[in-house]
Amino acid sequence: MTANAKGAGPLARLYTAFGISGPVALLLLAAALGVPWLPGEFWTHVGTEVLILGLFAMSFNLLYGYMGQISFGHAAFFGVGAYATAMLFTVLKPADGQIGVVDFLLSLLVGPPVAALAALVVGFFCVRLTGIYFAILTLAFGELLFYIVFSWYSFTKGDDGIQGLLPPPFFQDSTNFYFFTLAIVVTAAALMWRITESPFGYALRTLRDNQRRAAFLGTNVRVHMLANFVIAGSFAGVAGALWGPFSRSVNPGLLGWGESGIAVFMTLIGGGGSFIGPMVGSVIYTLLQAVVKMYTVYWPLTIGTIILLIVLFAPGGVLGLIDQRIRGARSAERVGREEDEAAAAAAERQP
């Protein structure tokens, strides 16, 4: 362990500066840049899905890991973002032809603000509660929005969903779309990192650890919770906006609690205690799903078993487990060094 830490100099320094998220983010980025060179379009496609769902899960973790509240309705904002983009996309697309690049980018841009607006309305009610009540209310609102999209046929095309979201020719190439997605996800993640390391981010942590005390610091608890709810909803909207052009269609299921569950699962697997944990969770979840589905139809059974094992044996997720090991090794190293120094000092005193 000691040898490893010393061998990986830059990674160890990143760990010291940014915690476990530093080195892991660097490794993930390096791996992400190599994905399109894997044989076949399949892995590029899976990689795009990893990025989009990972961004969605990271936005969920702003609520869970940083504010200490669990939402079972976060997909509502992912779905609203996806629909906003899909609907504008459909309007801007000529009846018989391709959507232009500018119109395509414009339709992507509309997803996040519409998702933010939905989060503002839903959050206004949800931030009055905490814990299980917060979770249940987000679930209720999520299902409500799902049902509206599902039933309002004239506006949303109901359970038919919206098809034919074929991006402009340049973005139809899976490698191009992959790098486009990577750029957006990295930018969004950088913004989220900035926010979590701002005074606002630390105010959220005080809410997570002790709401009553946070109020006695002069923090307006509800207003901070609402602001974070809207921020998390906006980033879910960014992910949602990318989803339509990626899968060429949207459907009401994107708003449903099954989709919300994906963010929860990914965060639990990767670890909600670190910034990059949910993205690691997305890598594991999405890759596993792609591979498992090649061989068996028992995907829900597989993921259920994995979640069970994680919750029982690694409640901090994969990154939580690794982080614990590194901290243990580092403090053992420190104790060892102090003992060596003490022994050396004692030896010097010997005549």
Residue 198 lies near other proteins (rule: CB under 8 A)? yes
Residue 287 host element (H or E): helix 277-295
203 counts as binding other proteins under rule CB under 8 A: yes
The CA-atom distances, in angstroms, between 243 and each of 80, 236, 237 are 11, 11, 10
Verify binding: residue 205, other proteins, rule CB under 8 A. Answer: yes
Q: Three-state SS for 97?
A: coil
Query: Which residues lie closer than 8 Å to 224 by C-beta, 6 or more apart?
Result: 200, 203, 204, 207
3-state SS assignment for residue 318: helix
- The alpha carbons of the chain give a radius of gyration, in whole angstroms, of 22
Site for other proteins (CB under 8 A): which residue of 200, 261, 290, 333?
200
Least separation in angstroms between residue 202's CB and other proteins is: 5
The residue range among 7-15, 122-130, 166-174, 203-211 that interacts with other proteins, by the rule CB under 8 A, is 203-211
Q: Which of 224, 225, 244, 286 binds other proteins (CB under 8 A)?
A: 224
Give just the sign of the alpha carbon dihedral 188, 193, 199, 203. Answer: positive
User: Where in 177-196 is the site for other proteins (CB under 8 A)?
Assistant: 194-195
Tokens 């602001």, residue located: 227
Report if residue 159 touches other proteins, rule: CB under 8 A. Answer: no
Sequence-ordered alpha helix ranges (H) in 8-100: 9-18, 21-34, 41-64, 75-92
Give the nearer residue to other proteins in terms of CB position, either 73 or 272: 272
> Whole-angstrom Cα distance, residue 105 to residue 59?
21
Among 92, 105, 109, 215, binds other proteins (CB under 8 A): 215
Residue 19 Cβ vs other proteins, minimum distance, rounded to whole Å: 11
CB-based contacts of 276: which residues, under 8 Å, 6+ apart? 20, 21, 24, 25, 28, 58, 270, 319
Q: Does 202 bind other proteins (CB under 8 A)?
A: yes
The one-letter code for the residue type at 47 is G
Does 26 help bind other proteins (rule: CB under 8 A)? Answer: no
**Based on CB atoms, which residue is closest to other proteins, 194 or 293?**
194
**What is the torsional sign of CA 88, 90, 95, 100?**
positive
**Based on CB atoms, which residue is closest to other proteins, 151 or 210?**
210
Cβ pair 280, 57 in contact under 8 A: no
Stretch that binds other proteins, among 20-28, 121-129, 199-207, 301-309 (CB under 8 A): 199-207
Report 229-268 residues binding other proteins (CB under 8 A): 231
- Amino acid code (one letter) for 103: D
Q: Which of 120, 221, 287, 290 binds other proteins (CB under 8 A)?
A: 221
214 near other proteins (CB under 8 A): yes
User: Beta-carbon neighbour count of residue 70 at 10 Å?
Assistant: 18
Q: How far is the CB of 329 from other proteins (least distance, A)?
A: 17
**Does the protein bind other proteins through residue 216 (CB under 8 A)?**
yes
Which CB sits closer to other proteins, 197 or 341?
Answer: 197
The two structure tokens encoding residue 336: 């060892």
199 binds other proteins (CB under 8 A): yes
Binding site for other proteins (CB under 8 A): 194-195, 197-203, 205-206, 208-210, 212-221, 224, 227, 231
